Amino acid sequence: MRELRWGGVRNIRDLGGLPSSTSPTGETIYGRIARGPRRELISKEGWESARSWGLNTVVDLRCLHETGAREQDPEVDERSTENIVVLSTPTEDQESEEFRRTCFPILDSPEYWVHNWRILPELVRNSLRAIATSPSGVLVHCSAGRDRTGMITALLLGNAGVPPSSVVDDYAQSVRAMAGTPHQGQAGDRQAEWNSQQREDWIESVSPIVYEAAEDTQRAFDMIQLDRRDQRRLREMLTQPSVIFSAHKC
């Protein structure tokens, strides 16, 4: 099952089990990388499930001002997350004038991905390198687990030889999971008020953008200047069943 039931939190999925042209098994490997929304939503029982899955590292794509527990979040003691490494690698600089001007109107759309790569290549590169240099059992998350996480996931899956149509389906799954619910981040979110028809119309309209990103991941990697070794490491993390991935330095 790709859906991970970590305390009932929606939109947490294993990136394993997808068709892959680069995997000897024909599909991506379970237990290597997962995607999800803000980790503060995970309960004590959810963290126990995450440990059972094999969670070692959390790669947080949010800006620092977005992090931290909120009043409605479950109470979790420090023991629940003990020995789980949390890496803060924001993909956005919300103080950047160019990023604000270009991306803020479309932050809930994959339209902004290419601008993120162009304006802040080092930040996206750092996020991908954090995953590449971590041991197996990585959770990648932002706020809703849809947009920033969707961007990174599209690159991870496309790089792993997952067909673009399957990457689009994975993105759509997160839109369906989160649309029509209160936004988990700090900025406004059009999708929080959508009904099912608006949601499906949106998926249809933006699917070509996701498809293109997954079809030509090399374009993004070239823009952000991601090292070929990191590209290979990320591919192998999702495709090579016999390799043990421990933390390493590049």
CATH (domain of 177) = 3.90.190.10
**Is position 4 within any domain?**
no
Which tops the pLDDT comparison, 250 or 149?
A: 149
Average pLDDT over residues 26-47: 97
Mean pLDDT, residues 31-37 taken together: 97
Residue 250, pLDDT score: 41
The predicted structure's pLDDT at residue 193: 80
Distance CA 235, CA 29 (A): 11
Q: What share of the chain is helix, strand, coil (3-state, %, to 5)?
A: 50, 10, 40
**Average pLDDT value for residue range 32-37:** 97
Report field, pTM of the whole predicted structure over 0.85: yes
Range of the domain at 222: 13-237
The tally of domains found in the chain comes to 1
| Residue 54 scores a pLDDT above 80 | yes
Tell me, yes or no, whether 67 lies in a domain.
yes
Specify if 5 maps to a domain.
Answer: no
Does the pLDDT at position 6 exceed 60? Answer: yes
Question: Is a pLDDT exceeding 80 seen at residue 243?
Answer: no
Residues 140 and 157 sit within 8 Å (Cβ to Cβ): no
The answer to whether position 245 is within a domain reads: no
Q: How far is CA 243 from CA 14, 84, 135, 236, in A?
A: 18, 22, 11, 8
- Tell me, yes or no, whether 36 lies in a domain: yes
Looking at residue 190, what is its pLDDT?
Answer: 79
| Distance from C-alpha of 122 to C-alpha of 187, rounded to nearest angstrom | 23
Tokens of 234: 């990320």
Residues 6+ apart with CB under 8 A from 70: 40
- Is residue 185 very low, low, confident or very high in pLDDT (cuts 50, 70, 90)? low
The answer to whether residue 249 sits within a structural domain is no
Over residues 167-193, the mean pLDDT reads 80
Length of the chain equals 250
> Cβ(184)–Cβ(37) under 8 Å?
yes
Burial class (CB in 10 A: 0-12, 13-18, 19+), 54: middle
**58-80 pLDDT, tens per residue?**
999 999 999 999 999 999 999 99
- 247 against 121, higher pLDDT: 121
Q: Which pLDDT belongs to residue 31?
A: 96
Which tokens sit at 67?
A: 């992090």
Pairwise CA distance, residues 120 & 232, whole Å: 22
Query: Is residue 153 a part of any domain in this protein?
Result: yes
Residue 246 covered by a domain: no
Q: What is the distance between the alpha carbons of residues 140 and 2, in angstroms, rounded to a whole number? A: 15
Map tokens 């998350």 to a residue.
Answer: 141
Q: When comparing pLDDT for 155 and 186, which is higher?
A: 155
How far is the C-alpha of 128 from the C-alpha of 237, rounded, in Å?
A: 12
Q: Find where tokens 């849809």 sit.
A: 146
Give the type of residue at 156.
L
In which residue are the tokens 């090399």 written? 218
